[in-house]
Amino acid sequence: MSHMKKNTFSGRWDEKALSMGWTAIPNALFFMQRPLGISPTNFNVLLNLFIHWWEAGTWPYPSQKGLASRMGVSVRTIQRSLDEMTEMGLIKKTATMRNHPRYKGRNIYDLTPVIKMIEEMAPDLKRTVGNKKSDSQEG
């Protein structure tokens, strides 16, 4: 790792740390939590949906049981969180049939709404966060 630049992704993480893959998420999403009223649990569920989004146009469909197990919460907590984010307009949820060969009854979670929010809010957030940084550096 010493031959890699420290400011590159692979320069910060070794292959052991990346052995399960990695997920690229715009920093703006982290700054949007409070303005959009996204609770810590909902944010964690949202991040877990993003790790299941492998290609554009194919939305994630993780099992609620798997999400609950990974997060250390109940399946009911996951269901409430997904319902809340649907009501907030962050995600769209589509049910599937158990006999579907691919989805096997799992819900499909369309992330288009939150992606559009990130695209729309990011420029203003960048200005706001940038102004706060310069203000704190002056004092």
Architecture per CATH, 38-124:
Orthogonal Bundle (1.10)
Return d(Cα 94, Cα 92) in angstroms, integer: 7
- Give me the mean pLDDT over the 9-19 stretch: 87
Return d(Cα 61, Cα 93) in angstroms, integer: 10
- Tens digit of pLDDT for each residue in 33-69? 999 999 999 999 999 999 999 998 899 999 999 999 9
Task: Among 48-52, 59-63, 75-79, 130-134, name the one with the lowest average pLDDT.
Answer: 130-134
pTM of the model: 0.84
Question: 93: helix, coil or strand?
Answer: strand
Return d(Cα 52, Cα 62) in angstroms, integer: 7
Residue 1 has pLDDT above 50, yes or no: no
What residue spans define the domains of the chain? 38-124
- Ramachandran angles phi, psi of 34, nearest 5°: -70, -50
- Chain mean pLDDT for the chain: 90
Higher pLDDT, 113 or 101: 113
- Give me the mean pLDDT over the 95-109 stretch: 92
- Ramachandran angles phi, psi of 93, nearest 5°: -115, 130
Give pLDDT, residue 132. 66
Give pLDDT, residue 135. 56
